[in-house]
Structure 1
Amino acid sequence: MVPPTKTLSLLFLSLLFFSHCDFWNSLTESKWKKRFKEQPASESDLVNWKEKLSLEEAEIEELDKKIRKMVQKSNQAGALSWKIARGYMRAGSFDVGSKYYEEALGEQVNQAGYELHQFESALPYFEKAIQIGKLDKQLLYEAAVAFANASKDMGWEENRRKRAVQLLKQLSRLDGKDTRFPFQLALIYFDSSLKGETWAGKMNSGYEDVETAFTLLDMILQKEPYNIPARFAKANFLYQVGKTSQASSEYFKIKSYLEEMKANGVIRENLEENSSYKNVLKNLEKLKDQNSNP
């Protein structure tokens, strides 16, 4: 059965940029365009722009607009976003850099032999940002996800997993109303408790946190009954531990909630076009087939 949710997901936020600077008026536009056509921005470019031009935050945002347009036209957007993120982080622009890490993680591409799963390279930059006091909620959240993905790529390596858990617990204390944090914790606890992943020839014996993962999801659903990602995660977890009857019941709840949300105008598109609704119908059909052909 195809899992209805990704094991580790990021909740992406819209990125808004709203500044204009006289700095850009001093640049000859033709030279700027020519530079981008000839070769994409590299890490060293970004560091040099930051250090030599002494860019202020507003100017960095304007620079970001130009780079973003270039990234969108690239057929290797994920790989390029990753490199640009490292450049911004090296230049000390942690907030802007973290946005590119976020986009790179979301792309999940593997083009031209480039392996995007290089989460390890992000960790020093997030650590530095945290150490110098960049403790805003979004940056900590992205750092936690980077540590979790790095740990997962290494067969759920203990120290990186522990760091991710610590950050998410810290975020939960900072803002107990934001359910993204216990949700990500639940995903980490459950996935890392599955036995069988191998790293460097060593078999992962798994952590014993499955019940904790269910407890966190139930806590979220008690607060937010219509939290569809959390319900999908719970149904998926139930299926993976062999509780197919309970998984089916959870999927029927999701179907019912989505139909209710459509009736109340929360969902505007036709349900037949809604990805969550199509997914829940597909999973229910697969469970039905499995039950009829044990």
Structure 2
Amino acid sequence: MGIKNSRFSLVFLRKWGLAFCLVLFFSGCEYLKSLTESRYRKRIGGEPTSEKDIVNWKEKLALEEAEIEEMDKRIRKLVQKSNQSAALSWKIARAYMRAGSADVGVRYYEEALSESIPNAKEGGFEIHSYESALPYFEKAIQSGKLDKQLLYETAVAYANASKDMGWEPTRRNRAIALFKQLAKLDKEDSRFPFQLALVYFDSSLKDEAWNGKLSNGFDEVETAFSLLDQILRKEPYNVPTRFAKANFLYQIGKSSLAYEEYTRIKSILEQMKENGTIREPLEENSSYKNVLNNLNVLGAQNKSN
């Protein structure tokens, strides 16, 4: 019933064809970049820049960006054919970050985040944890290319890196600071207080083993509940937040309150079915099946107590 976070990693490519394509892609990008810079440098060093020059440069830049985008699409197709797609996305993201393309790099990190790869060595592939991504996120932030999604992914990376180390305080504090910053930037986006609540709660569980490392626990369970309640006051039908609250209640031993919360979720999902928000039969809806299962488990436990 717990909430699990996926781990993601970097692998060394086995298939030379794919590796060769990646090398060509990045070397091609560098060639286009150096070629353009040399031409512009010669032009800038000569006559004063005219409006026509600027128009020509913009057209040239748009063409090069289109070529890069086309290469990017081809790489995505190759990655999708591999059974190591998450790991490859992780590798490509790091390469983009090294090249200073934070916006493109983050897209690949997001794809890697949607997959689950165990933090171990499998089949000869070397697998790394979130820790390896942190320098690239920091570099992207320092470059000045800030947006909410980049900050969000950076905060997630820090939270998971801290969790892997038994909730190491420095990385945990960095994640918390970033989530708080995001919450101030956009008070309407409930993702930020939600993720902050997860960090506060998970890191407050004493003697929990994360990736083989024991955590002493932080005393901030009530802060986690407060954040979830703030979201629910604004969004009473926010099902993921209600699931998290029910899960938290169960984990701290408040089974009766957890049962009540799951009952509310069941009613909300049934209302959503009635008003057409949920289109498939409830019996096929994963959230509804999950809530029924949890109610059955908790009901049996409450009867035995």
Interval of TM-score (by shorter of Structure 1 and Structure 2): 0.7 to 0.9
In structure 2, the partner of 1:59 is 67
Q: Secondary structure at the match of 1:147?
A: helix
In structure 2, the partner of 1:125 is 136
Distance 1:88 1:43, change over 3 A: farther
**Could you tell me how far 1:41 is from its partner in structure 2?**
5.7
Written as runs of structure 1 = structure 2, the 5 A alignment for 1:11-30 is: none
Written as runs of structure 1 = structure 2, the 5 A alignment for 1:87-102 is: 87-102=95-110
Contact persistence 2:242–2:261 (CA under 8 A):
yes
CA distance in 2, matches of 1:69, 1:261: 37
* Bigger mean CA deviation after superposition, 167-176 or 41-50: 41-50
TM value normalised by structure 2: 0.81
Report how many aligned residue pairs link the two structures. 266
Distance 1:42 1:288, change over 3 A: farther
Identity within the alignment, %: 66
CA distance in 2, matches of 1:200, 1:122: 18
**Could you tell me how far 1:43 is from its partner in structure 2?**
6.9
Q: Secondary structure at the match of 1:190?
A: helix
Contact persistence 2:6–2:116 (CA under 8 A):
no
Contact persistence 1:42–1:84 (CA under 8 A):
no
**Could you tell me how far 1:134 is from its partner in structure 2?**
1.3
Q: Which amino acid aligns with 2:199?
A: I
**Could you tell me how far 1:81 is from its partner in structure 2?**
1.0
Contact persistence 1:231–1:250 (CA under 8 A):
yes
Structure 1 position 112 matched with structure 2 position 112: no
CA distance in 2, matches of 1:89, 1:46: 15
**Could you tell me how far 1:189 is from its partner in structure 2?**
0.5
CA distance in 2, matches of 1:113, 1:215: 45
Q: Considering only CA atoms, is the larger Rg found in Structure 1 or Structure 2? A: 2
CA distance in 2, matches of 1:41, 1:285: 53
Q: Secondary structure at the match of 1:63?
A: helix
Contact persistence 1:43–1:88 (CA under 8 A):
no
Q: Secondary structure at the match of 2:104?
A: helix
In structure 2, the partner of 1:6 is 4
Q: Which amino acid aligns with 2:238?
A: N
Written as runs of structure 1 = structure 2, the 5 A alignment for 1:244-263 is: 244-263=255-274
**Could you tell me how far 1:284 is from its partner in structure 2?**
0.5
**Could you tell me how far 1:103 is from its partner in structure 2?**
1.4
Contact persistence 1:78–1:116 (CA under 8 A):
no
Structure 1 position 268 matched with structure 2 position 292: no
> Which ranges in structure 2 are unaligned for 5 or more consecutive residues?
8-14, 34-60
CA distance in 1, matches of 2:234, 2:206: 31
CA distance in 1, matches of 2:297, 2:108: 37
Q: Which amino acid aligns with 2:19?
A: P
Correspondent of 2:148 among 117, 137, 150: 137
Q: Deviations along 1:33-84, whole A, 9 cap, x unmatched?
A: xxx9823368755542321232844333222211111111101111111111
Q: Which amino acid aligns with 1:165?
A: I
Q: Deviations along 1:110-134, whole A, 9 cap, x unmatched?
A: 4535465511111111101111111
CA distance in 1, matches of 2:212, 2:298: 34
In structure 1, the partner of 2:42 is none
Distance 1:61 1:83, change over 3 A: same
> Which ranges in structure 1 are unaligned for 5 or more consecutive residues?
10-35
CA distance in 2, matches of 1:225, 1:198: 33
Written as runs of structure 1 = structure 2, the 5 A alignment for 1:182-193 is: 182-193=193-204
Distance 1:146 1:200, change over 3 A: closer
Q: Deviations along 1:261-290, whole A, 9 cap, x unmatched?
A: 000000111111111000000111111121
Q: Deviations along 1:229-271, whole A, 9 cap, x unmatched?
A: 1000000000000000000000000000000000000011111
**Could you tell me how far 1:135 is from its partner in structure 2?**
1.0
Written as runs of structure 1 = structure 2, the 5 A alignment for 1:133-282 is: 133-197=144-208, 203-282=214-293
Contact persistence 1:41–1:67 (CA under 8 A):
no
Distance 1:250 1:200, change over 3 A: closer
CA distance in 1, matches of 2:212, 2:78: 40
Q: Deviations along 1:102-160, whole A, 9 cap, x unmatched?
A: 11122012453546551111111110111111111111111110111111111111111
Q: Which amino acid aligns with 1:228?
A: V
